[in-house]
Amino acid sequence: MKLPIYMDYHATTPTDPRVFEAMKPYFMEIFGNSASRNHSFGWQAEEAVEKARKQIADLIGASPKEIVFTSGATESNNLALKGVAEMYAEKGNHIITAATEHKAVLDTCKRLEKHGIRVTYLPVQTNGLVDLEMLKDAITDKTILISIMYANNEIGVIQNMAEIGKIAKAKGVLVHSDATQAVGKVPVNVIKDNIDLMSLSGHKLYGPKGVGALYVRRKSPRVQITAQMDGGGHERGMRSGTLNVPGIVGLGEACAICQAEMAEESKRMAYLRDKLRNKLEAELDEVYINGTMDSRLPNNLNISFSYVEGESLLMGINDVAVSSGSACTSATLEPSYVLKALGAGDDQAHSSIRFGLGRFNTEEQVDYVAAKVIDVVKKLRELSPLYEMAKEGIDLTKVQWTAH
Amino acid sequence: MAYSNKVLDHYNNPRNVGSMDKSDPNVGTGMVGAPECGDVMKLQVKVNPETGVIEDAKFKTFGCGSAIASSSLATEWLRGKTVDEALEIKNTDIVNELSLPPVKIHCSVLAEDAIKAAINDYKTKSATKVEALASK
Ligand SMILES: Cc1ncc(COP(=O)(O)O)c(C=O)c1O
């Protein structure tokens, strides 16, 4: 077995070789600008872009004209939130989102707040789900947008988008969903799920980095957004800039593969994920799953190993690429705000590991990773004063710690 | 993050892991940090009451690799030192020895605090022992 093993598919995915093959001709042979209307170089590029647009639309139940190409989900989220806030400024100035959103949504909201938009950050329940009653109560006659992610990038919890959409529709409020982690992994359908705007990204579904899309609904209701990038008026005026043709071809092909293989692939992911979970739980006491298992991406396992600090665990499994919610592994030196939002306590966040399984993981790799994690957790618990105290029956929450 | 070879060595082969009897009058125990902050160190010293020399030192640490290495190194340095010499160990000595990057300096500070806490615990204990003897 080749080492190191990659098991961090929520961070990014390798490009599928079939996707790479599809992209290749669009660098040197079919290199035209898809906006060149007067020669075959342009026409060929345009044809490829339109094919990809349809492949993406098909995967999410949209029509091709509703797809706007961007540089990725960060840009899509920015465009959706800022574009709606600007376009619907006369209608209202209130946006509702959730505490567990990706920074590309939260920080966009923070900026909008500086420009007179009011933002409600809904807390989530301990299972990671938004409380729908709380959502209803948060809507005012000034609310223009509800932005709730489809699936969370740390805990994989899938929100009830269809219900959220229903609530919003009843009040005439638009819904945006950051579906970056969900598209291609679980069935996403913008009609059934009542979504008006939706962000997705190439590199999370075995496509290339630096390309993504924003779905913008054209019918019932017809959604309009104010462009945030000025220029040649590409993408029906919503996003100027010469299209990244090879990237778009890759994104389209990646979507087509996901659509064809999702049923099989998601079953395989769930099997591997559950095997990993069962092995860890069989060999180790006091491990806790973060977020509900009942509504979750099939490839996600976020688990806390009590009394063991996440970064030290990563250090012990250094031939396995996973990530941790521990403060020591974050740039801000704060433990994961997503896990904190579940109310689990900072100590549980410090002890968490996120496993993100993917297309190229094998059962043999899962067995290796499970054995390695079990071994290192046991070793670190031997080293842990907290484990020793817990075994002596001391209630760690009652200890007077010297916080520093 | 890249770890220095010395941090890796202490992480892979931690020195003097374990616990000593807290109620032993010759053992001083220091516990610093908090689980919510992501690191807790327990450091213990066993002192020869005749000579004031630290004969044994043990640690257990919940924390990142640098925290584990800092406390492991501290136990190595403590053994054979007198109580007063031990109090002279500075966090910067640990930073230099382990080549800790700036974001890990707090680990060395915690180790220094743990040393001080353990020595103080021992001193408090032996002072009460002396008092108890005097009042007999
Ligand atoms: C939920 C979610 N939203 C947005 C992003 C940002 O996507 P991109 O890297 O395409 O900008 C990510 C990836 O980090 C994500 O997981």
pLDDT digits 0-9 by tens, A258-286: 999 999 999 999 999 999 999 999 999 99
d(C-alpha A109, C-alpha A191), whole Å: 26
Residues A324 and A313: beta-carbon distance below 8 Å? yes
Q: Phi, psi (5° rounding) for residue A34? A: -65, -10
Give per-residue pLDDT as tens, A202-214: 999 999 999 999 9
The reported pLDDT for the residue numbered A331 is 67
d(C-alpha A223, C-alpha A120), whole Å: 22
Q: Which residue of B has its CA nearest to A328?
A: B64
Written as one letter, the residue type at A368 is Y
pLDDT bracket for residue A92 (50, 70, 90): very high
Per the CB < 8 Å rule, is A307 touching B62? yes
Q: If you measure from the C-alpha of residue A295 to the centroid of ligand 1, how many angstroms do you get, rounded to a whole number?
A: 20
d(C-alpha B53, C-alpha B81), whole Å: 6
Ramachandran bin of A194, using left for φ above 0, alpha for ψ from -120 to 50, beta for the remaining angles = left
- Pocket around ligand 1 at a 6 A CB cut-off: A 72-74, 102, 104, 149, 153, 178, 180-181, 201, 212
Rounded to a whole number of angstroms, the distance between the first and last alpha carbons of chain A is 43
- Shortest Cα distance, chain A CAs vs residue B65, angstroms: 5
- Shortest Cα distance, chain A CAs vs residue B30, angstroms: 11
Q: Which residue's CA lies nearest to atom 13 of ligand 1?
A: A11
A350 to chain B: which residues are within 8 Å by CB? 35-36, 38
Q: If you measure from the C-alpha of residue A74 to the centroid of ligand 1, how many angstroms do you get, rounded to a whole number?
A: 6
Q: What is the DSSP string of B21-62?
A: -TT-TTEEEEEEEEGGGTEEEEEEEEE-TTT-BEEEEEEEEE
The verdict on whether A258 is a catalytic residue reads no
Is residue B37 less than 8 Å (CB to CB) from chain A? yes
Give per-residue pLDDT as tens, A53-76: 999 999 999 999 999 999 999 999
ipTM attached to this prediction: 0.93
Q: What CA–CA distances, in Å, run from B5 to A88, A196, A313, B2, B75?
A: 57, 53, 17, 9, 18
The reported pLDDT for the residue numbered A403 is 65
In the predicted structure, residue B1 carries a pLDDT above the cut 70: no
Report the atom number in ligand 1 closest to the C-alpha of A77. 4
Q: If you measure from the C-alpha of residue B93 to the centroid of ligand 1, how many angstroms do you get, rounded to a whole number?
A: 42
Residue of A328, A391, A398, A399 to mutate when probing chain B, most B C-beta within 10 A? A328
The SS3 of residue A355 is strand
The reported pLDDT for the residue numbered A402 is 80
The reported pLDDT for the residue numbered A404 is 60
Q: What is the mean pLDDT of residues A25-49?
A: 97
- Shortest Cα distance, chain B CAs vs residue A85, angstroms: 38
Burial grade of B84 (CB within 10 A; 0-12, 13-18, 19 or more): exposed
In the predicted structure, residue A356 carries a pLDDT above the cut 70: yes
Which residues 292-311 of A are in CB contact (within 8 Å) with B?
307-309, 311
B43 to chain A: which residues are within 8 Å by CB? none
- Shortest Cα distance, chain B CAs vs residue A382, angstroms: 8
d(C-alpha A383, C-alpha A388), whole Å: 9
Q: Where are the domains of chain B?
A: 5-125
Average pLDDT, chain A: 96
Per the CB < 8 Å rule, is B31 touching A388? no
The structure's pTM equals: 0.94
Give per-residue pLDDT as tens, A314-345: 999 999 999 998 877 666 668 899 999 999 88
Report the atom number in ligand 1 closest to the C-alpha of A74. 11
Per the CB < 8 Å rule, is B39 touching A335? no
Is residue A404 less than 8 Å (CB to CB) from chain B? yes
The reported pLDDT for the residue numbered B133 is 65
Give per-residue pLDDT as tens, A105-147: 999 999 999 999 999 999 999 999 999 999 999 999 999 999 9
The reported pLDDT for the residue numbered A327 is 72
Which residues 50-109 of B are in CB contact (within 8 Å) with A?
60-65, 67-68, 103, 106, 109
Is residue A202 less than 8 Å (CB to CB) from chain B? no
- Residues whose CB falls within 8 Å of the CB of residue A270, separated by 6 or more in sequence, listed in order: A298, A299
CATH T-level fold of B5-125 = Sufe protein. Chain: A (3.90.1010)
Tokens of A103: 């920074």
**Which of B42, B68, B110 faces A312 most closely, judged by CB atoms?**
B68
In the predicted structure, residue A384 carries a pLDDT above the cut 90: yes
Rounded to a whole number of angstroms, the distance between the first and last alpha carbons of chain B is 58
A328 to chain B: which residues are within 8 Å by CB? 38, 64
d(C-alpha A181, C-alpha A201), whole Å: 8
Helices B91-98 & B5-12, crossing angle to 10 degrees? 100
